[in-house]
Structure 1
């Protein structure tokens, strides 16, 4: 899942790594998570800047610290300790991201309007199962165009943007972060699977539940 998400972070089409959207100050702030369904261990980072592959930094949090989430300056300091090179901010920013940010400032559109117009929620993710039944998941995102500085969405939060448990399955989410967090979407999917639903049925039920309860949109 790490390798898959790294490839997607490198693809400028998606809102993760290179291609991440810009916050209200015109900066990139990225979030990522990775989780191992065998141990329920996870690592995540939030508001990371100047790192090409936040998902790999999240894995280092899981494997080399006693923590689950490290954010902002602390996450970048941790990356520096590990010798993970920082990249120039412009290397992560695409013309499309700049255009979306300029549109926000020109028209002063609400952040939710930008989301509803399909700008800035191409979060990436992956799930996998091996021959022994072990599952894993990972999610990475640049967030929502023109989000407040320091805003963190669902992606790096266990049970919201991702969840993996060998006893049920693995899930990665995309969509409106605030809505996803309200219903802990990833964990809701695995809960439905625990109750006997197939993966597809559990996903469908959970998306409908989120729409009915908080009028949120997304996918898993």
Structure 2
């Protein structure tokens, strides 16, 4: 399994990478942050950790190359959400993934798209993890209707973003946790911090993607 093409609702084709371990019993869709792509080294690292735990992963570009050149489109949460929903539907029509429980992993602005999509998908999404995310951009109405167990992972030194996550956390009505990684800033570049975040994510998905 490897490179795939995902047809979005608006006649756009998105590049992706689907990896399904032989023992895969679930699959996680990744929603990257602004200015990033399916090639994000941080999301690639987290995906590898999930794969080692037998979790399938789909990393894909939320925007085309031309769209990504337009700064405003990187923050169009409604559009990013539509693209994530299109990728979810695509997985649900594939014979090798349609019966697997689905989860979302969102980073930065991708976390808002993941939570909006989870609110729309209801019981079809089993778990959500946000890493260094902006769940506040989801909107309080959508946050309050998310039913999937949600884990918000934030750098303990990511000042400003911590408070935004706390606000979003208060609006969530589902099973939820907010975890701070000591010493980590927004991109989790400090030694060992991304590993910690990835392990928290893996544990959350293993617990809830059943």
Name the TM-score, length of structure 1 as normaliser.
0.30
If asked which structure has higher relative contact order (CA below 8 Å, sep 6+), I would say 1
Name the TM-score, length of structure 2 as normaliser.
0.31
